Amino acid sequence: MKNQDDSQHHLNSHSQLPDCPLSTQCLLYADMLNSPGGDSQGNQDSWSTIRDDRDVREERLIEQLRAHVPTCPTCRAILAEVRSQREAIRSTLQVGEREVPSTAPRIIAAIRQESAAAPRTPYPSLRQEHSQRVSSIQSRIVETPMPERRRGRWMEFLSIAVAAALVLLTIGVLGRFVMLNGSMGAANSAAGSTSNGSGTSQTQSASWSSVIVTYTLNGTSFITNYNPLSGQHAELAAFTHAQVAVDGVAHSGIQVLYHVYDGSQTRYYVYPDTQKPVYTITGQGNFAIWSSGDNDHYLFINTGQGIAQIDMVAHSSHLLSLPKPATSPMALFYRDNYLYFVQAPNPLASYSSGILYRLNLQDNQSNPTQVTPCSHPTNPWLSPSGSTIYYNCGSQGQNALYAVNVDGTNAHLLRTDAGPLIGYASDYSLIVLRVNEPHLQVVQLGASTQQDRVILPDIASGASSVQASDIAVAPYGYALVTKATYANNVEKLLYSDLMTQDTQQVPLPVGVHDVHAIGWDKLIPTPSAG
């Protein structure tokens, strides 16, 4: 079982929440409390009917905790964090299984081949005699009276075994994260933390537990990092008399790309370095993107004069020279040497729709090829595997969801009434926002319409407006954060646990507006003492 030090570590991570005398017990019994509709006596019939007093007290404590958790924000936050960590570990193992095929079929085939090749024994009577001896021994073992085991002792052994397995599993998962992040460079791995020019420390986490949020307050634009469960937050950057936009969180989860236009120049920054821009252009620039599948090797910036490619490893940059019809291109994705872009109506337009093309940047002789047959695709998403692009088609309405291979083949309709795509689940299935009057539901698509599953019945009860672009779904699809607008243009930030369907409001400063939930990250917000 977990010791007191482990419990205290989790409690300290929620220091902004009120103290709860039962929080330690909630952490110790987190797996049982997180089981939907679980029963502390669910396996009673498989155990001895003789139970000691400690077993009875344990069952009563679990019943007490089940009644306590819905009324306690601290315990709810602790259980949600445990679920998040379990989901991250489970999803990492699933990815590993997909990347490293199981060797079990080959082992079984080899055993069968050896068995088939082995010579048949000419002594069947010996095998029969051996079988009779084994049966005799087994019968004597069954007839021998066994000492009755107490359930409490067995549970202690089981708890220790499970705890040991979790420790070994966690070490392996963390090792995998460290190995993946190791290629990000010394600037991202120094002492396990990052800091910006204002002195705010950001400790790195192994899980996607925080969200980048932007808002305006008293004429100042803020970029903040929020833990939506605890409400703890840290300011990453603040600007007055300037237009600020966050372009996205790196796939590593520890860097944030944003740009600032001061009226004469546009500067692009990558947090944690908020002092030195990675790129600067004269005049107003447009949004930028991270590359995918290569440890954030490149940035692509829509400058207004073309697309600039930034090499984050070599610290170099150049303006791409694209062949026709790329007369006014706008970069949307980059993966496996291919740049995906649309034709914008003008260099500074915010993306709405347009024919999607792709171009191999490693082949100087290649020409752009059209990916989507739809002339006005909207809301395009690249699949986590990099093999498929999902999109809505403007001429068919925003609810019709299509899919096409990245090379432009096999374009087909997935759903006529799916709604806009907002994220992916741990198995790469699609998560969409669907209207079911008077509610906006979050739905996980199955292999067929009958297998679709509502994972959040109402994303923002009572809200007057919710946009798909204002929803940030966590990696692996265990939670989401939503900006919702209510009466009198009041903007609220909501956190929803998609495992339990619980929703709570994330506290924001009074008077904020232009609130946006950008994306999830692995930075633990730690406000500076100064």
User: Concatenated DSSP letters for 82-147?
Assistant: HHHHHHHHHHHHHHHHHHS--SHHHHHHHHHHHHHHSPPPS-HHHHHHHHHHHHHHHHHHHHSPPP
Per-residue pLDDT tens digits for 257-270: 999 999 999 999 99
- Pick the range with the lowest mean pLDDT from 87-96, 256-265, 512-521: 87-96
CB 184 within 8 A of CB 190: no
Residue 392 lies in a domain: yes
Q: Which two tokens stand for residue 179?
A: 């190995």
Asked if 226 and 84 sit in the same domain, the reply is: no
Per-residue pLDDT tens digits for 120-152: 444 444 344 444 443 443 443 333 343 444 445
Asked if 414 and 478 sit in the same domain, the reply is: yes
Mean pLDDT for the chain?
77
Residue 441 lies in a domain: yes
Asked if 459 and 331 sit in the same domain, the reply is: yes
Output the pLDDT for position 10. 44
Asked if 77 and 209 sit in the same domain, the reply is: no
Residue 266 lies in a domain: yes
Asked if 423 and 316 sit in the same domain, the reply is: yes
Instruction: Identify any residues that bridge with 244 across adjacent strands, giving them in sequence order.
Output: 260
How far apart CA 205 and CA 524 sit, in angstroms, is 6
Backbone dihedral region for residue 138 (phi beyond 0: left; psi -120 to 50: alpha; all else: beta): alpha
Asked if 194 and 171 sit in the same domain, the reply is: no
Task: State how many domains the chain has.
Answer: 2
pLDDT over 70 percentage in the chain: 67
Output the pLDDT for position 427. 92
End-of-domain residue from the set 165, 181, 197: 181
Per-residue pLDDT tens digits for 384-402: 999 999 998 866 567 899 9
Asked if 253 and 175 sit in the same domain, the reply is: no
Asked if 73 and 38 sit in the same domain, the reply is: yes
Out of 112-116, 167-171, 376-380, 411-415, give the one with best mean pLDDT.
411-415
How far apart CA 399 and CA 416 sit, in angstroms, is 6
Residue 127 lies in a domain: no
Which domain does 416 fall in, by range? 186-526
Confidence of residue 432 (pLDDT cuts 50, 70, 90): very high
Asked if 279 and 402 sit in the same domain, the reply is: yes
Asked if 174 and 317 sit in the same domain, the reply is: no
Per-residue pLDDT tens digits for 167-184: 555 544 444 433 334 333
Which among 258, 263, 269, 264 has a CA at the least distance from the CA of 282? Answer: 264
Mean pLDDT of 348-362: 77
Confidence of residue 164 (pLDDT cuts 50, 70, 90): low
Per-residue pLDDT tens digits for 59-73: 777 877 887 888 787
Asked if 83 and 19 sit in the same domain, the reply is: yes
Asked if 54 and 199 sit in the same domain, the reply is: no
> What CATH number should be reported for the domain holding residue 269?
2.130.10.10
